[in-house]
């Protein structure tokens, strides 16, 4: 089934550790996104990429980095995790700007 695959589905991590959340899409969408969802705050955009090789900052980029080496993959890295990064992370993709986004099922990350 075409869509977005996120891994891992959940993770508990010690503060200060490095972590990469993986995201792969098979729809050949040009744009990809990372969001975090926190109670009472909805979904907030962390980083996005409008095409392979380019990335941009969203609302809450600090503490996170991304890369887009090819069309299908868009990993999100926490270089040194902090407890405030405990959240559910969603990866999404779309054909382009102002197009509906398709979401993965999320990664639940707990930083202790």
Cβ atoms of 6 and 107 closer than 8 Å = yes
85: left (phi over 0), alpha (psi -120 to 50) or beta: alpha
Out of 11, 27, 50, 61, name the contact with another protein by CB under 8 A: 50
Out of 46, 90, 109, 111, name the contact with another protein by CB under 8 A: 90
**Does 105 engage in binding with another protein (CB under 8 A)?**
yes
Task: Write the interaction track for another protein spanning residues 12-41; mark x where CB under 8 A is met and - where it is not.
Answer: -------------------x-x-x----xx
User: What is the distance in angstroms between the CA of the first residue and the CA of the last residue of the chain?
Assistant: 35
55: left (phi over 0), alpha (psi -120 to 50) or beta: beta
Out of 92, 93, 109, 111, name the contact with another protein by CB under 8 A: 92
Nearer to another protein among residue 89 and residue 111 (C-beta): 89
Distance CA 102, CA 12 (A): 26
**Does 1 engage in binding with another protein (CB under 8 A)?**
no
Q: Which positions touch another protein (CB under 8 A)?
A: 4, 31, 33, 35, 40-45, 48, 50, 56, 58-59, 90, 92, 97-98, 100-106
């Amino acid at each position: 089934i075409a869509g977005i695959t996120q891994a891992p589905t959940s993770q508990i991590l010690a503060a200060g550790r490095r972590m990469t959340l993986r995201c792969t899409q098979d729809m050949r969408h040009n744009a990809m996104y990372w969001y975090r969802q926190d109670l009472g705050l909805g979904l907030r955009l962390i980083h996005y990429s409008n095409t392979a090789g380019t990335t941009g900052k969203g609302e809450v980029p600090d503490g996170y980095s991304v890369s887009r080496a090819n069309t299908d993959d868009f990993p999100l890295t926490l270089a040194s995790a902090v407890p405030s990064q405990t959240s559910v992370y969603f990866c999404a993709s779309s054909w382009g700007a102002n197009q509906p986004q398709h979401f993965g099922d999320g990664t639940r990350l707990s930083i202790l």
